[in-house]
Amino acid sequence: MHSHVRPNAHIALRLPSGVLKLVEATPNTNINLGKFGTFNTNQIIGRPYRLTYEFLEQEDPKAQPELRVVPASELHAIALGSDHATPQESRDDDAATEGGVAFDIVGDNGEVIMRNNRLTVDDPSRQTLSMDEIEELKKAGSGSGKDIIEKIMASHLGIEEKTQYSLAKYTLRKSRKYLKRFTVLPLDIPLLTEYVTDKEAYRIMELRDESLGLICSWANIHSGSTSRVLMGEDGTSQIGGGRWLLVDDTGGLVTAALAERMGILYPHEEEDTSDSEGEEEQDAPADTEQENVQNGTTAAAAATTPATTATPDTTAQDTPMPDASLDILGVTAPDATNGTSTETPRQRRQPRPHIPQSSAQTNTLTILHPNNQPNLSHLKYFGFDAGDPKPGHPLYTHLKSLSWLQLLDPTSDPTYIEPELIPEETLATMKSSKRGTYYRKRRRWERTKRVIDETRAGGFDGLVVASSMEPVTILKECVPLVKGGGQVVVYSQNSEPLVQLCDYYSKERRTAFIARQFGPQHNGRTRGNPIDLSEEDELAEEGDEEEDFPVNPTLLLAPSLQTARAREWQVLPERTHPFMTSKGGAEGFLFTATRVLPVEGKVEARGIRGGKKRKISAEVSVEA
Amino acid sequence: MAPTVSPFLDPSTHASVNSLGVLQLKRDHLIPAVLSDSASSDYAEGNVVNTRFGSFTHSSLINKPWGTQILASVVDTGSRSGRSKKRKREANGDADAAGEVGAGAEETAKSVLKAATASSGFAHLVPPTPETWTLCLPHRTQVVYTPDYSFIIQKTRLRPGDHIVEAGAGSGSFTHAVARTVFNGSPGSEGNEEEQPEANGTTTRKRKRRQKRYGHVYSFEYHKPRAEQLREEIISHGLDPMVTITNRDVYADGFCLDDDDAPNADVIFLDLPAPWLALKHLTRSPPPPAVVKSVASDPSTPNAEASSSTLQPAPAAKPFRSPLNPKSTARICTFSPCIEQVQKTVAAMRSYGWLDIEMYTMEHKRLGVRRERIGLAEEGLRGANPSPATVQEAVQRLRDVEDRAKVFHGLQKEKQEQVMRRAEAKKRGEKVSARHDEEKEKEEKKKKLEGLPPSKHDRLERAKKESVKRPLFKEGRLVCRTESEIKTHTSYLVFAVLPVEWTTEDEAKARKKWG
């Protein structure tokens, strides 16, 4: 995956300054990197990711700029400082004889062996080039920017006085500013996280890599493509099947992260063998060009109906996971053929069988959203538009969404009500547009009903929450939908909502909850429960019930709270230390717990030893 | 026959026989057990997990839905049918110590007794996950814990279908975690499903029958017994179709396996004492000897002599084969506790052309949430601070003490005076009805004490009595703090990537294709 830059893929470009730029690699278009220059996408399409390119110097400024791949040794040379330019880095020895001392060491012949910063003068006038002159240079230079840096360095009066390290730092700083390079990166979750964090961290609840990693691990996210949906104890409920329930207020970032771990995020498998790859790609440009003609603009191409954007890649329609959706194909095929014919009136292509949306049985994500439509804007970078999903994308079948209203009170949602069934004969006499509307309505209802019924049946493998809503209200509704042994993970920027949540599942509250359930006759034996509650008292307490026990505290085991932060270090010869500055902001906390099935009736936990020990063990046992 | 699916990947609905289950007693106290229904154990009730909250028979766990709260059973732990056998087992039974409780091998004819429920406690039966396994695995070496491995998986972009090489398998926590991540089915498990698309004749005429790439973990361990133990573990966990364990010294012998193109790795994880010595095997083309020598000849490097000498003949003997997947960016992570290791590793990475080298440390902490109750009402109660909660309370307490003291002093004085009076009267020869006096005194004392603030004894008594009625679960201030034990340093994590090799011919070809 992500081996080569595919046409029309979303990619990221890292500029020397460290800034990321997200672009779509549409063939035959120019990408403008501002002061760094402009290049054509065809110069990077088909090449591997992670290469760094440099603009080559050119005689004619009007000519198509040429790019050069910068070798690794050259890339490292900048960071290491001029001395370390060679690939061998065993100069540590030289540095050891030379460095490590903070004084000027003057050799016998008066030659300075090692400098320190005693003589450093902090004065801008030491750079003899004026601002205008540098601007002049920038305009004149058409190449890699190395010449500018050289000139600037040459014009610095104090360059000789700089220590080896400060010189390296100075060069690095100038390189970041003037080098005309960029690196092509695949747009994946860590990169998208970094990009959004730099721009508008609040939109993704200030999630960092480490938090996302923890979420995926604790929620036990993995591919459930071969999992089975099994019958529950009662013979009706469903359990497992690699289905996760999700509440996502990060614009789809968490959804994408989970989908990546489940193998349903990327539109197509990129595992072509090299032979077939060549063959396949040979006709690719032709196809796209043709398409450009058809649709006028290239940008519109991606968003139009599935049938028209039939590049070889999408026609391949290779959902990497075999999904059970295909079972349903047989059932819905007749109306589907009609449906697609109305959908694509322009082209008389072979009607493609209709694959119902959100129809996968296993390896699915179900999203609960507060508005009518889920906000999954970040999924657009992965070729999935929630408003107009393409059937070729794995998320088309594996992503399901429903609103809170649909979950809690489906009958008040109009899409849940079955549209009138029109017999075939009547249908045949109808106008094709009307017939199309009819089928569309039918299908929407089928999809909505299927998703709602499935979700309400529960048995999910896990619950992941990253929401600005009060977590306790979410868990009240969602925890019962998780299967026994399933994981519950709640992310929040701040600790307070999760601390409160932990308290609602605390062992003391659980003990009190159980005591209240079983009434006064057992009271003497449990610690810390109200005794002597007469019947009336108990009725009076009912009112508090909701307030004291907004959630059933016996449903979650071992609720715990954690936070993690990765600290980045600079590793350079003789200069290894943590970075001096990094991003602050939300710490990011994670609540984790396991859904359990409490036994019916009263449970005692006395421990097996007598005396004092007994007391302690009784307590910890409840804690468990 | 359908291959059995690992309980780590698809745990089904119930705990089943001969499959791993985990008993969770406390948050960090979990006991793994391969459930067995054979009656071969020493107990009449069959195999038993003994804990401080009682004994749990395997028969009470088998076929229970995951997540069920299990009550302890009454097991006669005193009179085992074969005491000597048990002792013998303890003597040579490492497997038992390793937590696979009651894996008695001998099959006997007796049937398993049904045990009665004990009131000693309960536990929860939870399905195994890499996280629960990390908490209860038998430690052989340093464990890579959840915060570290989750970050590594995230940073190395490990995905379903990837191949990962792990060197230094150690305790196997990382092995389990990445096996879960790369899992995307196994060759046998979906043969029939794969045929369906064709049967339905979906859309694509030109679709090629592509070999689906299944995720795989190639694990290398230098230490033979550890490798063996891990192999057994992996098999008993049903992960063997997707985890290959090799006992090998990767510094000397590299990562390539005898299969055609294994490991064909996308991601590499090195948990080795000297990762820089293994890097020479992780290249796309034979590394220039000068570079290899410069990395290995670092005077402070242990084994430098040995490994460089073993290296020399190797290329001659075998044609070079890269263990990396030629079609994907290779991602590497090394896990080293010391900064010196990091410096050497990073230097070697630069020499071998790795890019985007980054180093991180992970700071992870767990927070304890509790209710902090402060106040005089908490006197004598457990888990609370009985000092005054407010200035007012403090003042009131001081007043009370003063008041009591005053009365007591008064009483004492009176008593003394009375004694004096009596003595005087005795001296004078008068006879006083002592009993009458005493009763009167008691009465008086009682009266005086009545209006007084309660004594400490009374207070404690009262606090205890009232505490039973108080909803302690919602009293006090809700606080959270870092737990008392934190891992302040696990290891330094170095990340880097090695792009796909790109030659001038490739470039010319791409240029021709794309213009």
Q: Find chain B residues with C-beta within 8 A of A14's C-beta.
A: none
- Is B11's CB within 8 Å of A240's CB? yes
pLDDT band at B111 (very low <50, low <70, confident <90, very high): low
pLDDT digits (tens, 9 = 90+) for B395-414: 999 998 898 888 888 888 98
Residue among A209, A570, A589 minimizing CB distance to B154? A209
Q: Which of B31, B350, B358, B370 to mutate to test the interface with A (most CBs of A within 10 A)?
A: B350
Domain boundary among A300, A317, A334: A317
The percent of residues above 90 in pLDDT, for chain A, comes to 37
Q: Which position has the higher pLDDT, B89 or A252?
A: A252
Each residue of B210-241: pLDDT tens digit?
Answer: 567 899 999 999 999 999 999 999 999 999 99
Q: Is A30 on the interface with B (CB under 8 A)?
A: no
Determine how many CB atoms are found less than 10 A away from the CB of residue B251.
Answer: 25
Same domain, A393 and A470: yes
Nearest to B53 among A327, A560, A605 (CB): A605
pLDDT (0 to 100) of residue B464: 85
Are A162 and A222 found together in one domain?
Answer: no
CA nearest B22 in A: which residue? A485
Residue A347 domain flag: yes
Taking CB atoms and an 8 Å limit, are A617 and B53 in contact across chains?
yes
What is the pLDDT, as a whole number, of residue B456? 82
Q: Do A576 and B186 touch (CB under 8 A)?
A: no
CB contact under 8 A, A315 and B472: no
CA distance A511 to chain B (A): 9
Q: Which of B314, B284, B190, B304 is nearest to B241 (CA)?
A: B190
CB contact under 8 A, A190 and B369: no
Return the structure tokens found at B427.
Answer: 């001296």
A249 and A300 belong to one structural domain = no
Which pLDDT band holds residue B345 (cuts at 50, 70, 90)? very high
Winning range, highest mean pLDDT, from A58-62, A98-102, A126-130, B347-351: B347-351
Taking each helix axis from N to C end, the angle separating A284-295 and A274-282, rounded to the nearest 10 degrees, works out to 30
Cβ–Cβ below 8 Å for A72 and B177: no
Cα dihedral A28, A33, A34, A35 in deg (nearest 10): -120
* Residue A480 at interface with chain B, using a CB cutoff of 8 Å: no
Q: How far apart are CA A557 and CA B69, in angstroms?
A: 10
Under the banding of pLDDT at 50, 70 and 90, the label for residue B495 is very high
pLDDT tens for each residue of A197-244: 998 999 999 999 999 999 999 999 999 887 778 776 666 667 888 899
Q: Are residues A306 and A376 in the same domain?
A: no
Q: Which domain holds residue A240?
A: 209-268+320-482
**Cβ contact, residue pair A69, B507, below 8 Å:** yes
- Residue A520 within any structural domain of the chain: no
The Cα diameter of chain A in Å comes to 108
Q: How far apart are CA B147 and CA B159, in angstroms?
A: 18
DSSP B205-274: SS---PPPPPPEEEEEESSHHHHHHHHHHHHHTT-GGGEEEEE--HHHH-S--SSSS---BSEEEE--S-
Asked if the C-beta of A189 comes within 8 angstroms of chain B's C-beta atoms, the answer is yes
Per-residue pLDDT, B96: 41
User: Does a structural domain hold residue A564?
Assistant: no
Vertex A600: Cα angle to B46 and B38 (nearest 5): 15
In a domain? residue A583: no
> Residue B203 pLDDT more than 50?
no
Q: Do B347 and A261 touch (CB under 8 A)?
A: no
pLDDT attached to residue B331: 95
Contact B70, B102 (CB under 8 A): no
Residues A31 and A14: their CA atoms lie apart, in Å, by 13
Determine whether the interchain pair B494/A571 forms a contact, defined as Cβ–Cβ distance below 8 Å: yes
Rounded to a whole number, what is the distance in Å from the CA of A605 to chain B's nearest CA?
4
> Taking the CB of residue B185, how many other CB atoms lie within 10 A of it?
28
> Least CA distance to B300: which residue of chain A?
A93
> Residue A568: which of B358, B469, B502 has the nearest Cβ?
B358
Q: How far is A541 from chain B (nearest CA, A)?
A: 12
- CA B85 to chain A, closest CA, distance in angstroms equals 25
- In single-letter form, the type of residue at position A35 comes to K
Check CB contact under 8 Å for A213 and B151.
yes
Asked whether residue A242 is domain-assigned, the answer is yes
Residue B60 has pLDDT above 90, yes or no: no
Do A49 and A139 lie in one domain? The reply is yes
Q: Smallest CA–CA separation between A470 and chain B, in Å?
A: 17
Position with higher pLDDT, B15 vs B357: B357
A459, A482, A505: which is the final residue of a domain? Answer: A482
Q: Would A599 be classed as within a structural domain?
A: no
Residue of A510, A534, A608 best to disrupt the B interface, most CBs of B under 10 A: A608
Please compute the mean of the pLDDT values over residues B245-270 and round it to a whole number.
89
**A411-465 pLDDT, tens per residue?**
998 889 888 888 888 888 888 898 889 988 999 999 999 999 999 998 999 999 9
Domains of chain B: 20-128 (no CATH), 134-187+213-364+490-514 (3.40.50.150), 369-427+453-482 (no CATH)
How many A-B residue pairs are in contact by the CB < 8 A criterion? 392
pLDDT of amino acid A304: 35
Q: What is the DSSP letter of A263?
A: T
pLDDT at B201 over 60: no
Q: With CB atoms and an 8 Å threshold, state whether B363 touches A566.
A: yes
Min distance B19 CA to chain A CA atoms (Å): 15
Q: Classify strands B267-270 and B216-221 as parallel, antiparallel or unpaired.
A: unpaired
How does pLDDT run across A576-612, given as a tens digit for each residue? 999 998 888 888 999 999 999 988 766 666 554 443 3
Cα(A552)–Cα(A550) distance, integer angstroms: 7
pLDDT for position A476: 95
Nearest by Cα to A492 from A481, A501, A503: A501
pLDDT at A230: 79
Q: Are residues A75 and A37 in the same domain?
A: yes
Domain match, A324 and A447 both = yes
A367 assigned to some structural domain: yes
Question: pLDDT by residue (tens digit) across A132-178?
Answer: 777 777 666 656 677 777 777 777 777 777 777 777 788 778 777 77
The answer on pLDDT for B128 being more than 60 is yes
Task: Please list every residue in chain A whose beta carbon sits closer than 8 Å to the beta carbon of residue B343.
Answer: 571, 573, 576
The partner residue sitting opposite B151, judged by closest CB among A225, A502, A566, is A566
Is the CB of residue A11 less than 8 Å from the CB of residue A22?
A: yes
More confident residue, B188 or A570: A570
pLDDT of residue A176: 77
| Mean pLDDT score across all residues of chain B | 80
Chain B CB within 8 Å of residue A558 CB: yes
Q: Are residues A295 and A393 in the same domain?
A: no
Cβ separation A73–B353 shorter than 8 A: yes
Model confidence band, residue A375 (pLDDT cutoffs 50, 70, 90): very high
User: Nearest Cα to B94, choosing from B140, B46, B29?
Assistant: B140
* A160 and A251, same domain (yes or no): no
CA distance B396 to chain A (A): 28
C-alpha–C-alpha distance, residues A67 and A39, integer Å: 8
Residue A340: pLDDT band (50, 70, 90) is very low
A312 vs B160: CB contact, 8 Å cut-off? no
Same domain? For A263 and A289 the reply is no
Strands in A46-160 per DSSP E:
52-55, 67-69, 105-106, 112-114
pLDDT-wise least confident of A181-195, B181-195, B346-360: B181-195
Structure tokens given for A498: 């999760």
**Closest chain B residue by Cα to residue A194:** B155
Is B351–A87 a contact, with Cβ atoms under 8 angstroms apart? yes
Per-residue model confidence as pLDDT tens digits over B435-451: 666 777 777 777 777 77
CB contact under 8 A, A239 and B13: yes
Provide, rounded to the nearest whole percent, the portion of chain A with pLDDT above 70.
68
- CB under 8 Å to B234, separation ≥6 — which residues? B172, B175, B240, B243, B245
Question: Quick one: pLDDT band at residue A309, thresholds 50, 70, 90?
Answer: very low
Own/partner pairs for B297-303, CB < 8 Å, 24+ apart?
B297/A90, B298/A90, B298/A92, B298/B344, B300/B340, B301/B274, B301/B276, B301/B277, B301/B344, B302/B273, B302/B274, B303/B251, B303/B274, B303/B277
- Which of B202, B190, B183, B288 minimizes the C-alpha distance to B242? B183
pLDDT digits (tens, 9 = 90+) for B288-325: 888 888 877 654 444 444 444 444 444 445 688 899 99
For chain B, state the CA radius of gyration: 36
SS3 A497: helix
Instruction: Let me know whether A220 and A303 are in one domain.
Output: no
A74 in contact with chain B, both atoms CB, cutoff 8 A? no
Helix axis angle, A72-80 to A164-178, nearest 10°: 130
What is the ipTM, given to two decimal places?
0.83
Count the Cβ atoms, other than its own, within 10 Å of residue B341. 20
Give the number of domains in chain A.
Answer: 3
Give residue A338's pLDDT: 39
Give per-residue pLDDT as tens, B452-471: 778 888 888 888 888 888 88
pLDDT per residue as tens digits for the range A490-545? 999 999 999 999 999 999 899 888 888 776 544 444 344 444 444 444 444 555 67
Q: How far apart are CA B454 and CA B244, in angstroms?
A: 73
- Is B351–A242 a contact, with Cβ atoms under 8 angstroms apart? no
Q: Please give the radius of gyration of chain A, using alpha carbons only, rounded to the nearest integer.
A: 32
- Contact assignment for B189 to A226 by CB distance below 8 Å: yes
Q: Does A143 contact B at CB distance below 8 Å?
A: no
Distance (Å) of CA B195 to CA A272, A324, A364, B208: 19, 12, 21, 13
Across the interface, whether the CB atoms of B473 and A230 are under 8 A apart is answered no
Point out the domain boundary residue: A467, A482, A497: A482
Sign of CA dihedral A231, A236, A241, A244: negative
Question: Does residue A231 sit at the B interface (CB-CB below 8 Å)?
Answer: yes
Asked if residue B350 has pLDDT above 50, the reply is yes
Identify whether residues A229 and A144 lie together within a single domain: no
DSSP state of A494: S
Burial class (CB in 10 A: 0-12, 13-18, 19+), A313: buried
Asked if A226 and B366 come within 8 Å (Cβ–Cβ), the reply is no
% of chain B at pLDDT higher than 90: 38
- The whole-chain average pLDDT of chain A stands at 75
Query: Do the domain assignments include residue A84?
Result: yes
Please state whether A2 falls in left (phi above 0), alpha (psi between -120 and 50) or beta.
left
Q: Which tokens is B207 given?
A: 């679709």
Find which of A86, A89, A237 to mutate to test the B interface (most B CBs within 10 Å of its CB).
Answer: A89
Tokens of residue A603, six digits: 């449970």
Enumerate residues 6+ apart whose C-beta is below 8 A from B17: B35, B36, B37, B62
Q: Which of residues 583-622 of A touch B (CB under 8 A)?
A: 589, 594-599, 603-609, 617, 620-621
> Given this model, what pLDDT does residue A335 score?
38
Residue A72 pLDDT grade (very low, low, confident, very high; cuts 50, 70, 90): confident
Structure tokens at B66: 């995951």
